[in-house]
Structure 1
Amino acid sequence: MRYLSTVLLLYFAYLQNSTAQFVTIQDSSLIIRDTSQFVNSKLYDVVDLFQDINPFRKADTTSIQKTRSGISYLPNINYNPSIGFQIGLKAVGGVYLGDKKNTSMSIFATSVNYTTRGIFYAYLAHDTYTKDNKWNLKGNLVGAKMVGLDYGLGIGAPLDHPEADEVIMNNPERNRYVNHYNIYGFSERLYKQLLPGMFVGGGIFFELKRDIRTSSEFETSPNEIYGEWNNFNSTQNNNNGLMFNLQYLTRDNPNSAYKGIYTDVVLRMNQTWLGSQKSAYQLQTDFRKYWQLSEQRPNHVLAFWNYGSYNLGGTLFYLDLPGTGKDPYARSGRGYTNGYFKGISFFYSEMEYRFPILKNQFLSGVVFANVQTANDQMGTELFQQWQPAGGAGLRVLFNKMTRTNLCIDYAFGKFGQRGLFLGLNEAF
């Protein structure tokens, strides 16, 4: 079944719209830089593959190829241990709103999905850069019926002499709880460029969770205990507030960077006057660095990622606590299900080695390793305990206009956690 989903994803990629006025070129060969080994080598993606094998394709009568679009339409077939198998419709695209030399690519994605775990998820997201990068807008709109796996609070380290409620929260047996809830969310950030690559801005977010319930074989759940400890209504919650942001970037592409830096620092402030149950102040840091290891093979890259979320005051709702897969793009912690570890504060780092397999970049590979730590309300401190994971994967060049890759990863962690992770674009 896993292989069938990948084949279907590749097949329907051929059905891309070729007339939209997004990132386009007249000669789709995309000649690589003139090097001793790859003079006149051509990038080759999934659309090229299906054009070549299409038995109904008409022979070209001119030397000028049709304009290709930087927007991809496809069934969103996916799998990872957190959501099960997923089917849906997705569009991913990129557009330059100014000269490529001094304007970053603006990207967007929209999708409607359903999974075998009963999750229904629809979203619209964008990351927009105006001409000359004078302004940057990031935002998303979400509506979902969620089914989230829950393994308690903390990093999975045993406690000394725990009380009954602490045993449930720490969950040393790694019992699985399942949280069901509906979510409606909106956020928007606006950045102003101060210096080349440096932006400062602010934003607002609203996230409403309703009809929260937990199914398990146990009488009480970590969500209910945490609600009692911190005086939260455990059946519904508003996560509303303001953001202040500082961003610095020099990376050459948001989908698959070869070189450069991406840094985003966000102060999130849950505010009761905007509807949150409690005020809370969380500092989020996102740092990514890319080293290009070869000019001849540009996709030969070493990449580093660090993501952190640190409590500066106040109290977050249980389902809003930072943890595995709780980064803005839900890509951290390959090897574990989303939310497997969570804490009041959370720290995550990952290193990935990306290497070419075919000189036309149609096929490449990765190996990666990550580590995470979290604190809790039972005495475990941040950086006291660590949990590792690692894996390897293949990359299929899906759209050479935007460097969009189909990512096929297998990752494994501790406590028997392992699984196949499929998706578009790199994890970071």
Structure 2
Amino acid sequence: MKFGLLFFIIAASTFLNESQAQDTLKFSPNKINNFKWVPLPAVGSNPANGWMFGLAPSATWYMGNPIDTKLSNLVGNFLYTTKKQWIFSSRSNIFLDQNSWILVGDWRYFITSQPTFGLGSGAPNELGEDPNLPGVYQGAQQMDFSLIRFYETVLKRVGSSNFYLGMGYHFDLHSKIESFLDEKSPTSLEFAHDHYNRSLGFDTERYILSGITLNAILENRDVAVSPYEKNFALLSYKINPTFLGSDQSSSTILMDYRHYVNVSERRKRHLIAFWGYGNFLVSGNLPYMNLPSLGWDMFGRGGRAYAQGRFRGESMVYSEAEYRFPLQKQKETFGGTVFVNAASFSSRTVNEKLLDTINPGYGLGLRVMINKQYRTTITADYGWGQKGNSGFYLNVNETF
């Protein structure tokens, strides 16, 4: 953690002079694009990946006149971790001229590993036999796997409103899946991943989820990467038919709502942010790694205090509140945050319903805005959860 914070300070200092110069730029009505690229070297840490090294480039630009076109952004990751993982990703939110269309992309290639703990909110840290499933492990079980993900969504603005309708295609290929134990004791029980997949007719080493989404978005945020005001809402219905390549047919509904309330009219950065998120299985069955899971939202920001994938189930609800504030009287460079969150999961496999168990988290963070005009921000957070769960998170741009 200390090394991560040291890098955080060094990186902020490196870009501070440049950002202060950029902050003085003013938009011309005839000037478009204003492309800004930050090839940020990355040293970070989180519970699922350990220490990460590489590049985390961030780009912001306008696809039209800044007067009537929102800021587009792209965040990439090219990382190698101390757990011998490779992480390549590109996630984008692009507004075309006059916000007439939105293009949302989420592309990933992982050669990675991750612990899984079984299903439901009550899954413990400690390895043992699941009392609800005799002969099956619960608690920390390691998994190696590869993931290829291609998500792309196109949305059309409805009239002159901030409401959008559109469709998307999503594809997930999990392969080379292997479950194992860190402990040297012999494997005497069945792994939770393998038991779940076998019981529902999925392969335990490779599976595909492929389908289309029907989407509705309300986009009122002023700047998507670091909003100061208003709100955002997403409703997405996913259909995964076998004729598009899915191993089994299924459907899900995802709901995402974010709201930003200014505490001070003079300092817009002084605000309270709220996030509500739900992901629900509607029909059919999903492979284990495609089940709704903590920290598998688009930017992997949910569930600070817990490792990615710590909780998993057929349906999930998640909420978070964050107080953001400047640390300087006049300048906007340094800021801070405190946050609380809570998550709950359901699982038919272990007979657990939503809200039977709730897992809370809380924490605090430091912010360094390296470009005021585009609100490009380095974020460093530490979160604490239940039963000894905790983690340090170093990222680019606000959590939500």
The residue aligned with 1:206 is 171
1:65-76 equivalence runs, <5 A: 70-76=36-42
The code of the aligned residue for 1:200 comes to L
The residue aligned with 1:42 is none
Cα deviation for residue 13 of structure 1 reads 6.0
Change (3 A) 1:27 1:87: closer
Change (3 A) 1:212 1:198: same
Task: Say which of 68, 86, 99 aligns to 2:65.
Answer: 99
TM-score (norm 1): 0.84
The residue aligned with 2:141 is 177
The residue aligned with 1:37 is none
| 8 Å CA contact retained: 1:307, 1:327 | no
The code of the aligned residue for 1:201 comes to G
The code of the aligned residue for 1:323 comes to S
Could you give the per-residue CA deviations for residues 362-387 of structure 1, whole angstroms, max 9, x where no partner exists?
Answer: 11111110011110122111122211
Cα deviation for residue 191 of structure 1 reads 0.3
The residue aligned with 1:248 is 218
Cα deviation for residue 198 of structure 1 reads 0.5
Cα deviation for residue 160 of structure 1 reads 11
Q: Helix, strand or coil for the counterpart of 1:117?
A: coil
Q: Helix, strand or coil for the counterpart of 2:224?
A: coil
Change (3 A) 1:419 1:141: closer
| 8 Å CA contact retained: 1:404, 1:424 | yes
| 8 Å CA contact retained: 1:110, 1:124 | yes
Cα deviation for residue 121 of structure 1 reads 1.0
Change (3 A) 1:28 1:273: same
Instruction: Identify, as 1 or 2, the structure richer in strand.
Output: 2
Alignment of 1:187 onto 2:151: yes
Cα deviation for residue 92 of structure 1 reads 0.3
Change (3 A) 1:365 1:13: closer
Alignment of 1:239 onto 2:199: no
The residue aligned with 2:238 is 268
Task: Give ranges in structure 2 of 5+ residues lacking alignment.
Answer: 27-33
Alignment of 1:390 onto 2:335: no
Alignment of 1:348 onto 2:318: yes
Q: Helix, strand or coil for the counterpart of 1:277?
A: coil
The residue aligned with 2:309 is 339
TM-score (norm 2): 0.89
Cα deviation for residue 28 of structure 1 reads 2.9
Could you give the per-residue CA deviations for residues 145-175 of structure 1, whole angstroms, max 9, x where no partner exists?
Answer: 011111111001699963404x63xx3xxx3
Q: 1 CA distance for matches of 2:22 and 2:173?
A: 47
Task: Say which of 106, 113, 116 aligns to 1:150.
Answer: 116
Q: 2 CA distance for matches of 1:160 and 1:113?
A: 35
Task: Say which of 370, 378, 390 aligns to 1:418.
Answer: 390
Alignment of 1:133 onto 2:99: yes
The residue aligned with 1:368 is 339
The residue aligned with 2:162 is 197
1:33-72 equivalence runs, <5 A: 70-72=36-38
| 8 Å CA contact retained: 2:39, 2:58 | yes
RMSD: 2.4
Change (3 A) 1:89 1:160: closer
The residue aligned with 1:315 is 285
| 8 Å CA contact retained: 1:79, 1:420 | yes
Q: Helix, strand or coil for the counterpart of 1:360?
A: coil
Q: 2 CA distance for matches of 1:110 and 1:157?
A: 32
1:11-22 equivalence runs, <5 A: 11-12=10-11
Q: 2 CA distance for matches of 1:391 and 1:12?
A: 22
Q: 2 CA distance for matches of 1:208 and 1:227?
A: 15
| 8 Å CA contact retained: 2:317, 2:345 | yes
Task: Give ranges in structure 1 of 5+ residues lacking alignment.
Answer: 32-67
Q: 1 CA distance for matches of 2:106 and 2:277?
A: 20
The residue aligned with 1:56 is none
The residue aligned with 1:3 is 2
| 8 Å CA contact retained: 1:9, 1:74 | no
The residue aligned with 2:23 is 28
Q: 2 CA distance for matches of 1:372 and 1:295?
A: 32
1:281-300 equivalence runs, <5 A: 281-300=251-270
Alignment of 1:379 onto 2:358: no
The code of the aligned residue for 2:6 comes to V
Alignment size in residue pairs: 380
The code of the aligned residue for 1:194 comes to V
Q: Which protein shows a greater Rg?
A: 1
Change (3 A) 1:386 1:26: closer
Q: 2 CA distance for matches of 1:368 and 1:265?
A: 25
Could you give the per-residue CA deviations for residues 181-208 of structure 1, whole angstroms, max 9, x where no partner exists?
Answer: 1112212110000042110000111221
Alignment of 1:108 onto 2:74: yes
The residue aligned with 1:221 is 191
The residue aligned with 1:34 is none
